[in-house]
Amino acid sequence: MGNSPSDGSEDGGCDDLTTVYNEIIPCPVGGTLPIEEPMPDVSADVSLASNANMMFSPALKSPSLGTSGSAFSPVRRTRKRSKKALAISSSSSSSSSSLVSPPLQHQQPQPQAPLGHPPRSKPKPKPKPKPKSKSIFGFNQHDENVDPNSNSASSSHPPPIQTSGTVSYVCHDDEDNPQTSSCDAKTINGTKCYIIDAKTGCFVFQLLTPEECRSLIQSAESHVQSSAGGSGWRKLYTYTKMDLPMQDLANAGVVDEQGQNIKESLMRRICSVVASYYGCSASALRPRTWKEPHFLKYSTDVAPPHCGVEMHYDGCNITWNLMLSDETDYDGGGTYIRCLRKTVKLLQGQVLIHPGELFHKGVDITRGTRYLAVCFVDGHDPEIQDISSSKGNHELWEKNTVTYFS
Ligand SMILES: O=C(O)CCC(=O)C(=O)O
Ligand SMILES: [Fe+2]
């Protein structure tokens, strides 16, 4: 964790994980390199939208010897924010109930400091204030009946999504009282998606079985401990300490039982749901860099412990987080989404989708080990601008946890 803790405030105290990381990365073969290193584009594989419910059998071959590094030519990408975005803020009321959705502000993005900032150690030229946008694009959330290119996005209200019933979920208020509630659901490719918040495009769905999750954890762990993988968990991003690009497994020849590349298989399955939900083409969606997707491990049992990540935004278009651990493996944890004032606690095998512009944090675990697979995805901008405030009782709101049961 190179940087000092950040609260993600509007005054610039926030972090764009991908931007920050894009400065220096430990090179797979040692040393450091500026990134990004071009890698084979897997987007073509994503175009084959597959059923997200299909059986994933990552009974993996043991890692074979293979190069986990190559010569990379550094290419910098500059982060750009959409000028036309739906501005999302925290609720102005101080409701502490996770049942209450914060109202949206459909307002013109004001010239303001960018939500992300470059690493403090490397001053960068001040970004020019953004011109005021005349029109506000609504949340570009489509269902099958909505034309993604229609002008409805410019209305002051996001188009309603077509839901297919409701599902129950359990939330704990800030005093830890469990309550059952229900939310809208939408079935995509036979997959039930729990809609956490339609306005921002945050949703959850079940992807993997516990067995599949355990198998993925085991392949990651055996890779970092094997003489082939060797180098242990890597530090890919500013606020994380134990990461592993899935590409490392591919480089070591690790595939699933069908002989498929794990990262491509996950991308294909998850992006087919994401694309249908957001109304874009699955083939447009691609991992932001070769490091995506990556495994992320938190543990209280390492020295020093790595328990969570600070408030930040990912800086990509859309992020997916796949929970690999069983909920009994750890206490605490979850993904706190600032504008929603709630912490999403995924069950094993569930995926959380959220726009990469939303401020969020990995809530600290207080016991055990929590594994995720995470991917920063580009290729479709949901045009959500998070203007929620760092001020307010986020410590309290963080305790509003929501869990979606099948
Ligand atoms: O730990 C979590 O739930 C979130 C992780 C995260 O935000 C990230 O890796 O970018
Ligand atoms: Fe993140």
- Which ligand 1 atom is at minimum distance from the Cα of 308? 1
- Which ligand 1 atom is at minimum distance from the Cα of 296? 9
Ligand 1: which residues within 6 Å by Cβ? 17, 240, 296, 309, 314, 321, 335, 360, 362, 372, 374
CA 287/CA 356 separation, integer angstroms: 12
Q: Angle at the Cα of 254 (from 249 to 257), degrees rounded to 5?
A: 140
CATH code for the part of the protein at 17-56+84-93+161-404: 2.60.120.620
The residues pairing with 169 across neighbouring beta strands, listed in sequence order, are 181, 404
Give the residue, by CA position, lying nearest to ligand 1 atom 10. Answer: 314
Give the per-residue pLDDT at 296. Answer: 98
Distance 361 CA to ligand 1 centre (A): 6
Distance 295 CA to ligand 2 centre (A): 13
Among the bound ligands, name the one nearest to the CA of residue 363: 1
DSSP string for 240-272? -SSEEEHHHHHHTT-B-TTS-BHHHHHHHHHHH
**Could you give the residue ranges of the DSSP H alpha helices within 145-227?**
210-225
Give the per-residue pLDDT at 33. Answer: 27
Among the bound ligands, name the one nearest to the CA of residue 372: 1
Question: For residue 78, what are its two tokens?
Answer: 């500059």
- Which ligand 1 atom is at minimum distance from the Cα of 374? 9
Q: Angle at the Cα of 246 (from 72 to 334), degrees rounded to 5?
A: 125
Distance of CA 230 to the CA centre of its chain: 27
Residue from 322, 361, 365, 398 whose mutation best tests the ligand 1 pocket (most atoms within 8 A of CB): 361
Give the per-residue pLDDT at 389. Answer: 94
The tens place of each residue's pLDDT in the chain, 406 residues long, gives: 333 333 344 333 344 444 333 322 332 222 222 233 334 333 333 333 333 332 233 333 333 323 232 222 222 233 455 456 788 886 533 333 333 333 333 333 333 322 222 333 334 444 444 333 221 222 222 222 223 232 222 323 344 566 777 777 788 777 778 888 888 899 998 999 999 999 999 999 999 999 999 999 999 999 998 865 567 899 999 899 999 999 999 998 998 877 889 999 999 999 999 999 999 999 999 999 999 999 999 999 999 999 999 999 999 999 999 999 999 999 999 999 999 999 999 999 999 999 999 999 999 999 999 999 999 999 999 999 999 999 999 999 999 999 998 6
CA 319/CA 357 separation, integer angstroms: 9
**Could you tell me the residue ranges of all domains in the chain?**
17-56+84-93+161-404
Give the per-residue pLDDT at 201. Answer: 96
Q: Which of 360, 343, 352 is nearest to 398 (CA)?
A: 343
- Which ligand 1 atom is at minimum distance from the Cα of 376? 10
Give the per-residue pLDDT at 258. Answer: 76
Distance 299 CA to ligand 1 centre (A): 14
> Is beta strand 342-344 parallel, antiparallel or unpaired with respect to 401-404?
parallel
Give the residue, by CA position, lying nearest to ligand 1 atom 6. Answer: 362
Give the per-residue pLDDT at 170. Answer: 82
- Which ligand 1 atom is at minimum distance from the Cα of 298? 1
Give the per-residue pLDDT at 122. Answer: 39
Q: Which residues surround ligand 2, an ion (CB under 5 A)?
A: 314
CA 173/CA 97 separation, integer angstroms: 6
Question: For residue 325, what are its two tokens?
Answer: 């651990």
Q: Which residues of 126-142 are buried (b: 16+ CB within 10 A; e: fewer)?
A: eeeeeeebeebbbbbbb
Distance of CA 352 to the CA centre of its chain: 7
